[in-house]
Structure formats: structure tokens, C-alpha cells
Amino acid sequence: MNLETDKNLNAELDIFRGTAGSDSKFETFNVPFRQGASVLDALIWINDNVDETLSFRYSCINANACKECMMLIDGKVEYACLKKLQEKKSKLQPLPNKKLIKDLVTDIVPPKEKFSI
């Protein structure tokens, strides 16, 4: 989705950055604000235009993989694809009580579904 607007409206995202076992920090990104855009739209915009190393997960083309974009948004577990972008600062964090992989990506596979090769 194209987030470019003719207005100079921006949303500010304070995003958790880090990997398991390393120091973590929050990094702030300013993204163009457009009414109706989702947090996922903003993450994709950041990845395409600002920082291609930002890690997050989504799989909107496969309904069986839904829940891929789940994360903490302002302290609440939310779907980034459904949560509307706000014209204010939002804080994005990985899911709590899940093993951190990188940035907003956690290990979400239920233990019974894991297998060894």
C-alpha cells in the first residue's frame, strides 16, 4: 500500500530492535500518515524505504498463516494488519512470553508442532 500523502502528516513508531541474547533498543521511525492505513502498511513502508533490516512477520495471502503479524502495539496484543495507524507515537514490541528471534519476530510455532530434522 502506498502511504504517500499530499499532506505533511506523520505517524511515529517506536520499534523494538534486537535479537535473542544481544542488547536491545527502541528505534523511532517517522512514516507518512494516511487515514485507513494499518500498522503493517507502515512496517512495510519502513522496510521498503528506510531500513530493509527491520524484521517482522506477515502472511496475508495465506489465511492459514493468519496471526503471523501479531505483536504488542502500545502494550496490547494486536494484529498489525488490522490495527489502524495512528497520527501519534505508537510503541511496537515482540510478543511477550515467546522466544525472540529478531526485532518483532518471535517463535510462534506451538511446541507440539515443532519437529527435529
113 inside domain? no
Helices (H), ranges, the chain: 39-49
* Residue range(s) defining the domain that contains residue 19: 10-98
Provide the pLDDT for residue 25: 96
Q: How many structural domains does the chain have?
A: 1
CATH of the domain at 21: 3.10.20.30
104 inside domain? no
Q: Which amino acid is at 104?
A: L
5 inside domain? no
4 inside domain? no
101: exposed, middle or buried (C-beta count within 10 Å: 0-12, 13-18, 19+)?
Answer: middle
Tens-place pLDDT, residues 100-115: 999 999 997 766 555 5
Tens-place pLDDT, residues 24-36: 999 999 999 999 9
